Amino acid sequence: DAMVIQNPRYQVTQFGKPVTLSCSQTLNHNVMYWYQQKSSQAPKLLFHYYDKDFNNEADTPDNFQSRRPNTSFCFLDIRSPGLGDAAMYLCATTTGVADTQYFGPGTRLTVL
């Protein structure tokens, strides 16, 4: 059974049109991460939540926001997508700060 679920798997949006990506987990993990992965590159951490505490990476653009309404769900909001934001967006979870991270299948975002 899938443990980290991302919806949708494929998302197409228009330049400047806000978009929200969803991640849910059945593992009851404390920590949830959002990564951006561009073609042929390693995943790049955008931010993470430890329970309700939000931690932004220093180089994450303000265009990217996140919400975690409860333990199971975390959302990535891109307020005004640009062409350069087209990428695979990966969600990951872990039980604690130094435990193994488990990734979801990703959402492939296309910006037209």
Partner 1 sequence: GQQLNQSPQSMFIQEGEDVSMNCTSSSIFNTWLWYKQDPGEGPVLLIALYKAGELTSNGRLTAQFGITRKDSFLNISASIPSDVGIYFCAGQNSGTSYGKLTFGQGTILTVHP
Please report, as ranges, the residues that interact with partner 1 according to CB under 8 A: 4, 6, 31, 33, 40-43, 45, 48, 50, 55, 88, 90, 92, 94, 96-106, 108
CB nearer partner 1, residue 70 or residue 100: 100
Judge contact between 72 and 24, C-beta under 8 A: yes
84: three-class secondary structure by DSSP: helix
- Residue 79 or 105 with smaller CB distance to partner 1: 105
User: Alpha-carbon distance 10 to 20, whole Å?
Assistant: 12
Q: Smallest distance, Å, CB 84 to partner 1?
A: 20
